[in-house]
Chain A
């Protein structure tokens, strides 16, 4: 499978289907057991500097004493190296990327004073501050409500003008209207290199017939059509 520069790529699959394992392998946290991974032609350990990774914010300890600014600042660690302080340039980069995700007003707040969608934006800002060529997002809209979800997709669509976006989710319904390419993973990878999921792909990936209508938002899964809103 290949993701081309500039794509908005959706990878879907059921829980336990190997999504996180694949993510970890791309980030060089786990070795690929079979096959190989190249990021802009480089091994994961070298190529991951091109990747801005956005994990699920719900994984974090909500009582951890840290401000929005310090979370985003983490993204500059690679540029900073081992010296103990961050430069003015790092500070500016943090402000810039918080502005990009529309969170600059919250810079000095405790991370847990924010809503789910706002936290998600902060973690996107942390990825942006690494000056990536692509963003890799793990379930970016898990546990946020529908209009927040829509605004995050709008942000990602904007960012897609500058960089490749790959997002991973178990939610089949929501992504198809935004992405340019889609693939399914469940131990194996299924793709037909366009933005439509075929019922066959889903059946292969989910190991049982998936009823697209039963999902509640079938129009987003099926081939192109106008959104009424």
Chain B
């Protein structure tokens, strides 16, 4: 425990913890939407496509565009994937899971190919491992500013349009009849998912993004009866689990991304068990 207090004075560990909290803010809110709208695999497709964008950014750096940040590449590709998956002609003509599968693998393959052409002596490239599984220890101050702004934007947007978002997720037909511009709002939500995915990649990497988006929201879905409560409690839970995961990874000297995900997984199993006990107790009391 003393060790931990000592760590807290180290700047890169401070940044790591702050990054975890900022990521958790967005992931509680957007993760809730992903879970109730059944967009989990859309989010998976978006995050894996963004690997292509990260590769592309490094490739552009090699071509001389040194300002082309990997996060920018990730954002471009993930928003592209979101718009593609959300577009009406694609949704109407193809099965959703097939399209997701296709962009998922194309994104990954593009990433591998682009990175293959990058000369690591000229461009400073992160390892595959930290792109895929997270590199929260390498968070810079600039990253924190980006993550914070995206988080604030997402939360404000969600607060302002909350009632419409809730209605669209619950009953899109009724939303449409009631005058909500369904396609526009759906697109906005997909773009927010894409933005969230991009900032989560910093923490847990391309592959493990799904854990942060899904697990805290799925846990709180078991215990809440209001969408707003689910968002708030999932956010709080993500903050707790991410921070605990970060501290644990320092303590145990394990990769932070994977540690956070394992902690979340354990919490999920525990809460399933807790819910089961709770339901049993209530039904026994009710006779």
**Chain A residues proximal to chain B, CB less than 8 Å:** 27-29, 48, 53, 55, 60-61, 63-67, 70-71, 73-75, 77-78, 80, 82, 84-86, 109-110, 126
* A28 B177 Cβ-Cβ under 8 A: yes
- B window 164-182: CB within 8 A of A: 164, 166-167, 169-171, 173-180
CA distance A86 to B167 in the complex (A): 14
Q: Which of B171, B180, B225 contacts A110 (CB 8 A)?
A: B225
- B window 137-190: CB within 8 A of A: 159-164, 166-167, 169-171, 173-180
Question: Which residues on A sit within 8 Å (CB–CB) of B175?
Answer: 74, 77
Q: If A53-B177, A77-B164, A84-B161 touch, does A65 touch B226 (CB 8 Å cutoff)? A: yes
CA distance A65 to B218 in the complex (A): 11
Question: Which residues on B sit within 8 Å (CB–CB) of A78?
Answer: 178-179
Pick 28 A–B contacts, CB within 8 A, sort by A.
Answer: A27-B177, A29-B176, A53-B174, A53-B177, A61-B36, A61-B38, A63-B36, A64-B170, A64-B227, A65-B221, A65-B224, A65-B230, A66-B226, A67-B225, A67-B226, A70-B226, A70-B227, A71-B170, A74-B170, A74-B174, A74-B178, A75-B178, A77-B167, A77-B175, A77-B179, A82-B164, A109-B225, A110-B225
CA distance A67 to B179 in the complex (A): 22
* A77 B163 Cβ-Cβ under 8 A: yes
Tell me how far the C-beta of B81 lies from the nearest C-beta in chain A, rounded to whole angstroms. 25
CA distance A201 to B227 in the complex (A): 47
* A64 B169 Cβ-Cβ under 8 A: yes
Tell me how far the C-beta of A60 lies from the nearest C-beta in chain B, rounded to whole angstroms. 7
Question: Which residues on A sit within 8 Å (CB–CB) of B221?
Answer: 63, 65
CA distance A150 to B162 in the complex (A): 37
Question: Which residues on A sit within 8 Å (CB–CB) of B90?
Answer: none
B-side interface mostly:
helix
CA distance A29 to B182 in the complex (A): 12
Question: Which residues on A sit within 8 Å (CB–CB) of B166?
Answer: 66, 70
* B171 A60 Cβ-Cβ under 8 A: yes
Question: Which residues on A sit within 8 Å (CB–CB) of B174?
Answer: 53, 55, 74, 126
B281 lies within 8 A of chain A by Cβ:
no
Question: Which residues on A sit within 8 Å (CB–CB) of B266?
Answer: none
* B171 A74 Cβ-Cβ under 8 A: yes
5 tightest A-B CB contacts, nearest first: A110-B225, A77-B178, A65-B230, A74-B167, A78-B178
* B177 A66 Cβ-Cβ under 8 A: no
Q: Which of B160, B171, B180 contacts A55 (CB 8 A)?
A: B171
CA distance A60 to B167 in the complex (A): 12
CA distance A209 to B229 in the complex (A): 54
CA distance A64 to B226 in the complex (A): 8
**Chain B residues proximal to chain A, CB less than 8 Å:** 36, 38, 159-164, 166-167, 169-171, 173-180, 221, 224-227, 229-230
* A77 B226 Cβ-Cβ under 8 A: no
Nearest-neighbor residue (CB-CB) of A130 within chain B: B178
CA distance A48 to B176 in the complex (A): 11
Nearest-neighbor residue (CB-CB) of A109 within chain B: B225
Tell me how far the C-beta of A27 lies from the nearest C-beta in chain B, rounded to whole angstroms. 5
CA distance A53 to B178 in the complex (A): 10
CA distance A114 to B178 in the complex (A): 25
Question: Which residues on A sit within 8 Å (CB–CB) of B167?
Answer: 74, 77
Tell me how far the C-beta of A52 lies from the nearest C-beta in chain B, rounded to whole angstroms. 10
A60-B171, A65-B226 known, 5 other contacts, Cβ within 8 Å: A65-B36, A71-B170, A74-B178, A77-B164, A77-B167
CA distance A63 to B225 in the complex (A): 9
* A84 B226 Cβ-Cβ under 8 A: no
* B177 A64 Cβ-Cβ under 8 A: no
CA distance A53 to B179 in the complex (A): 14
Question: Which residues on B sit within 8 Å (CB–CB) of A66?
Answer: 166, 170, 225-227
Question: Which residues on A sit within 8 Å (CB–CB) of B177?
Answer: 27-29, 48, 53
Tell me how far the C-beta of B35 lies from the nearest C-beta in chain A, rounded to whole angstroms. 9
Nearest-neighbor residue (CB-CB) of A108 within chain B: B225
CA distance A78 to B167 in the complex (A): 12
Tell me how far the C-beta of B121 lies from the nearest C-beta in chain A, rounded to whole angstroms. 53
CA distance A96 to B178 in the complex (A): 20
CA distance A12 to B212 in the complex (A): 48
Tell me how far the C-beta of B155 lies from the nearest C-beta in chain A, rounded to whole angstroms. 13
Question: Which residues on A sit within 8 Å (CB–CB) of B224?
Answer: 65
Specify which of B38, B170, B176, B229 lies most central, judged by the most chain A CB atoms within 10 Å of its CB: B170
CA distance A110 to B166 in the complex (A): 15
